[in-house]
């Protein structure tokens, strides 16, 4: 029973966030210096996923956070991330939003790169 639950958790909580972060990690360095992106990414990860929203606004408690708090709480009833309450619908919203934004970023950057190539 543990292995199917682990696979379901991985597929619904971890993979959408990995797709989202992976899309940006592949796309953004095409436009800015790689080490600058890496430093910015570490800052974003702590601010956007792990920081409690007290004083400084953060996306860590929104459906846009790739840490998977909404999916975890909505589908499995527990979360280690700062999400107060969530239901399955919000988990689905979060999952679809992360995947859709990742696909949009990849598509836009692909088209931009094709345009850059044609311009040269």
Closest CA to 99 of 74, 52, 73, 63: 63
pTM (2 d.p.): 0.85
Q: Name the one residue in this structure whose structure tokens are 């909404």.
A: 70
Closest CA to 84 of 65, 100, 61, 106: 61
Which pLDDT score is estimated for 57? 80
| pLDDT bucket at 70, cuts 50 / 70 / 90 | confident
């Amino acid at each position: 029973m543990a292995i199917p639950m682990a696979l379901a958790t991985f597929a619904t909580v971890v993979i959408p966030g990995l797709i989202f972060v992976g899309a940006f990690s592949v796309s953004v360095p095409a436009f800015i210096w790689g080490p600058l992106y890496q430093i910015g990414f570490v800052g974003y990860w702590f601010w956007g996923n792990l920081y409690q929203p007290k004083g400084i606004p953060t996306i860590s408690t929104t459906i846009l956070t790739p840490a998977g708090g909404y999916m975890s709480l909505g589908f499995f009833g527990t979360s280690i991330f700062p999400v107060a309450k969530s239901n399955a619908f919000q988990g689905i919203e979060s999952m679809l939003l992360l995947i859709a934004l990742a696909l949009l970023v990849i598509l836009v950057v692909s088209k931009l790169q094709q345009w850059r190539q044609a311009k040269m």
